[in-house]
Structure 1
Amino acid sequence: MLRDLRFILSALGCVTVLGACQPQLNSGLPLGAPAYEALGGAVPVTEGVYRIRPGDRVNVSLFQEPDLSGTDLLVDESGQVSLPLIGAVQMAGRTTEEVSREIERAYGARYLRDPQASVALRTIVPQTVTVDGQVTQPGVFEIRPGYTLVSAIALARGTTNTAKFDEVLIMRTIDGRRAVARFDINAIRAGRMEDPRILPGDQVVVGFDRLRGIYRDVLQVGPLLGVFTQL
């Protein structure tokens, strides 16, 4: 009995050291409202408004003007599409509704009376996020407009039993600079925090809970007989 206890205590000491070696995320990162501000106002949405991106293909239709309309037009790397008479129209970063109104203004200024334009997405380039850290299946996943932090974690088949729920980071590039913010997914699921929107190119990292990791490793070495443990 004494020998078994010494074995367990020795194992506990070993896994404590191992747990300390696990990479720890920075708890000093902004949490709550400052976190949303750090990501450029990553407000939660239930239905995302898609903004056109380079590589997308669109249909442009002008009512009763087939010669000015176009099908399967590629949005080039500069985010533009060239249309008859009015030339390049900036589409990237705008919604289809915004571009439609811009085309109406351009044609109405010089060529048509009360033009009615409609822009529709034909195909969009794949949008992906990376989910890493303490999740069941880390990887790169395709997302759709309106996906949130909880949605992204679900794509990775949820968190592991050693995840630290208040150490979930979103990393995002804004105007060429890297921004990082911290979120608590338990608080999000309980409705105490808003679920932030995930954008293409984001990286989500779920932190490691050192205490949970120690208990997990101890139980793998050998269960403590007659002792209840809760993870």
Structure 2
Amino acid sequence: MPTPEAHVPVQDYRIGPLDTVSITVFQEPDLSVKDVVVEASGTLSLPLLGKTQVAGLTTSELAADLQAKYGARYVRNPQVNVTITNPVSQQVTVEGNVIQPGSYPVAGRMTLLRALASARGPTRMAALDEVVVFRVVNGQRMGALFDVNAIRKGRAPDPQIMGDDMVIVGFNAVKGAYRDFLQTAPVFAIFRNF
């Protein structure tokens, strides 16, 4: 039986400004480049082609584009391989009740559990059944609610996190009030409302 995660559609990483890429043209070392940073304009300077727009393309789309361009004028049946050696343009922001809130790079296949792990995990007061992921879809901001406990137990798929997503972990008011009570009770040594 496949795991629930197997049903989650995976979207390829899209190259963006300041990502570092390597491009290999098989048996053409003069056309290959290693560890080149994409300019802020989203372009790379490539041998024979000059400035080439690469931002917004996946590695396979860029490879196909370069094969067509090199094949049309310079190399017979070129085989191009593109790898992202340092992805930095796509970030996920993790906020709320996590140990280390902040922005983290989306490298490889980032999932919700991996995003939470990047933020060093949820706090003790986190409401793991109230984790919201915000994302822009077709120019509209949308959100989805996830239950991390169900994901951890395999009852729900671990959703893919994409660049510019925002993950917000909710606050468990009961746990928080109980913890606040425990922290203040020894100091005052009296019964208090909480």
Which TM-score applies when normalising by structure 1?
0.63
Q: Secondary structure at the match of 2:99?
A: coil
Runs of 5+ in structure 2 lacking a partner? 1-7, 187-194
Change (3 A) 1:99 1:209: same
Question: Identical aligned pairs, as a percentage?
Answer: 50
Q: Which of 133, 143, 146 is equivalent to 1:180?
A: 143
Instruction: Report the number of matched residues.
Output: 180
Say which structure, 1 or 2, has more relative contact order (CA 8 Å, 6+ apart).
Answer: 1
Change (3 A) 1:141 1:117: closer
Question: What residue in structure 1 maps to residue 43 of structure 2?
Answer: 80
Is 2:24–2:33's contact at 8 Å kept on the other side of the alignment?
A: yes
1:92-122 CA deviation, whole Å, 9 max, x = no partner?
2333233222211222233332222233334
Alignment partners' CA distance in 1, 2:16 and 2:90: 10
Q: Which of 196, 201, 206 is equivalent to 2:169?
A: 206
Question: What residue in structure 2 maps to residue 16 of structure 1?
Answer: none
Give 1:44 shift: 6.1
Is 1:44–1:195's contact at 8 Å kept on the other side of the alignment?
A: no
Question: What residue in structure 1 maps to residue 128 of structure 2?
Answer: 165
Q: Secondary structure at the match of 2:94?
A: strand
Runs of 4+ in 1 over 6 A off after TM superposition: none
Give 1:221 shift: 4.7
Alignment partners' CA distance in 1, 2:182 and 2:86: 51
Runs of 5+ in structure 1 lacking a partner? 1-42, 224-231
Alignment partners' CA distance in 2, 1:137 and 1:53: 25
1:94 paired with 2:57, answer: yes
Hey, which of these two has a bigger chunk of helix by percent?
1
Q: Secondary structure at the match of 2:23?
A: strand
Q: Secondary structure at the match of 2:129?
A: strand
1:132-184 CA deviation, whole Å, 9 max, x = no partner?
22223333334422121112222333223332222111122345442222111
Question: What residue in structure 1 maps to residue 107 of structure 2?
Answer: 144
Q: Secondary structure at the match of 1:68?
A: coil
Q: Secondary structure at the match of 2:164?
A: coil
Larger Rg: 1 or 2?
1
Change (3 A) 1:134 1:84: closer
Question: What residue in structure 2 maps to residue 63 of structure 1?
Answer: 26
Give 1:130 shift: 2.4
Alignment partners' CA distance in 2, 1:66 and 1:222: 71
Question: What residue in structure 1 maps to residue 154 of structure 2?
Answer: 191
Q: Secondary structure at the match of 2:151?
A: helix
Question: What residue in structure 1 maps to residue 70 of structure 2?
Answer: 107
Alignment partners' CA distance in 2, 1:71 and 1:220: 55
Alignment partners' CA distance in 2, 1:159 and 1:172: 21
Which TM-score applies when normalising by structure 2?
0.73
Pairing 1:220-231 to 2, within 5 Å after superposition: 220-222=183-185
Is 2:17–2:89's contact at 8 Å kept on the other side of the alignment?
A: no
Change (3 A) 1:155 1:125: closer
1:50 paired with 2:13, answer: yes
